Amino acid sequence: MTHQPHGKPLDCVAVIQARRGSSRLPDKILMPLQGKPVLDHVIQRCLAIPSVSQVVCALPSDAYNDAAEKVALAAGASVFRGSESDVLSRFVGAVEPYNPKYVMRLTADCPLLDPVVCEDLYQALVTSGRAYGATAFFPHGLDCEVFTHGILLEADKKASHKNDREHVTLWMKRATQGNQVSLAPDKTYRADHRWVLDYPEDLDFMMALERVMPHAFSSVGWQDVLAVLDKHPNISSLNKMRIEEWAALNQKIHDQASTAG
């Protein structure tokens, strides 16, 4: 599905990077949490970000992802279909009809992302006048990046390594090194928490959290989740063994692109 362009540029478009074909946890974005697919939760969270004018779900073009498109449309997002491996080009295509000033990147495996955190990052980047910003030291699963449309187009022209094309913002991070916005929690360092769906243990975590969460996933803030986990510390232990493994994998991806580029 291709969007219909708006009459004037938008300030901020949120793009949710999504696909069904995850090798570590297949079909994770359509798994049910509190009676709704994970992707639906993510979209509802994105729609609640005050400065986001449009939410676009960027999906691969193959027929296998048709079911995800149906979920996305029913949840209130627009959909763009593009290359599965060249995710950078998929982002360019997703925002092209809207010509936004800023693009917010989110991923479809984070059903607990916090709209307030995303909004705070956006406002910090706009105030700074810089081209790229990201969250830092929040629980993994609150990850958010915001960047100008201009640097997205520049990355699309200059990034050639396959990791830069697949991981969207690697080139931007190198290009803006030392001149970025980093949003961290004011008081509590909680980067040792993992609230993302990527491994079977992460699904165990989400299902255990679902059983004790008194409110809907789509409405809680990240401090609310922390409060529940503080009362049930055994839940966080379910996927804690994956934290270092994931960090090492991401470092390897960054190193390979940096060496080649």
49, 104 Cβ separation under 8 angstroms: yes
What is the band of 260 on the pLDDT scale with cuts at 50, 70, 90? low
The predicted structure's pLDDT at residue 23: 85
The predicted structure's pLDDT at residue 5: 47
Location of structure tokens 């699904």: 203
The predicted structure's pLDDT at residue 22: 85
pLDDT digits (tens, 9 = 90+) for 23-54: 889 999 999 999 999 999 999 999 999 999 99
Residue 8, beta-bridge partner list: none
> What are the phi and psi torsion angles at 183 (to 5°)?
-105, 120
The predicted structure's pLDDT at residue 256: 52
Cα atoms found within 13 Å of the Cα of residue 173, Cβ hemisphere only: 15
pLDDT digits (tens, 9 = 90+) for 74-122: 999 999 999 999 999 999 999 999 999 999 999 999 999 999 999 999 9
> Which stretches of 83-238 are assigned E, i.e. beta strand?
102-107, 132-135, 145-148, 181-183
Reference 197, options 206, 208, 188; nearest CA is: 206
> What are the phi and psi torsion angles at 222 (to 5°)?
-65, -30
The residue type found at 47 is: L
pLDDT at 7 over 80: no
Q: Are strands 132-135 and 181-183 parallel, antiparallel or unpaired?
A: parallel
pLDDT at 4 over 80: no
Distance CA 60, CA 167 (A): 14
Mean pLDDT over 195-213 rounds to: 95
Reference 56, options 37, 41, 38, 69; nearest CA is: 69
The predicted structure's pLDDT at residue 178: 94
Between the alpha carbon of residue 62 and those of residues 51, 67, 82, 190, 254, the distances in Å are 31, 11, 9, 38, 28
Distance CA 189, CA 192 (A): 8
What is the band of 259 on the pLDDT scale with cuts at 50, 70, 90? low
The predicted structure's pLDDT at residue 216: 84
SS3 7: coil
pLDDT at 187 over 80: no
pLDDT digits (tens, 9 = 90+) for 146-173: 999 999 999 999 999 999 999 999 999 9
The residue type found at 211 is: R
Tell me the domains of the chain and their CATH numbers. 12-260 (3.90.550.10)
Mean pLDDT of the chain: 90
